[in-house]
Amino acid sequence: MIIKICGVRTLEDAECVIAAGADYIGFIFVKKSPRYLEPAVAAQIAKAVRGRIETVGVFVDEALHVVREIVRTCQLDHVQLHGHESVADIAEFAEFSLIKALALDEPEDVAKAQVYPCRLLADAIQGSQAGAGITGDWALAADLASQREILLAGGLTADTVADAILAVKPWGVDVSSGVERAKGVKDHGEIYRFVAAARQAGEDR
């Protein structure tokens, strides 16, 4: 069970995520987001945690040259595209280890997701409004998870993640607002609770 804590903005929070036992840490490079992080700050955090946790840069409908520059500056391990990127767009990002985020609203969305040649993230919202704590459709996510390796996101908390894992059986889970005490401010206690609950559920599924 891969566990990703997204929207991290400080080294203190990053150290907490590592101590709690998560696998991935996410930096959001979307200026409209309350969790936006300046690339220079992300580079400092990424350097400090390198070798102890994998880093993910989150982008929404961003130009390839911008993504490439930020990934190079921060030396990120993965790129998560959370916008409306087409399959043709994805091909331009093939040099990266990719995660494509998709909103699953209708059964047809599960079929549409199959065209993407990379790992997928099933969320309730696509684009810059993701991270609003809205729960996705677990039935649709379970359908997709039976066919592909997916990260599950959307409204997860320490109290709901176990049920989500047992229902969907994803490759991993992704949380941002569900471990915050205020918008964009991480709650260290909730990070520990979330990771522990997700890890136990991953063993039980």
6 is a catalytic site residue: yes
123 is a catalytic site residue: yes
Q: What is the C-alpha separation between 27 and 46, in angstroms, rounded?
A: 9
Query: Contact at 8 Å (CB) between 49 and 69?
Result: no
Q: Are strands 185-186 and 180-182 parallel, antiparallel or unpaired?
A: antiparallel
User: Which of the following is catalytic: 13, 16, 123, 143?
Assistant: 123
Please name the residue that has the structure tokens 């203190």.
12
Q: What is the C-alpha separation between 80 and 4, in angstroms, rounded?
A: 12
Q: What is the C-alpha separation between 94 and 101, in angstroms, rounded?
A: 15
Q: What is the C-alpha separation between 205 and 184, in angstroms, rounded?
A: 31
User: Which of the following is catalytic: 6, 13, 74, 174?
Assistant: 6
Residues marked as catalytic:
6, 123
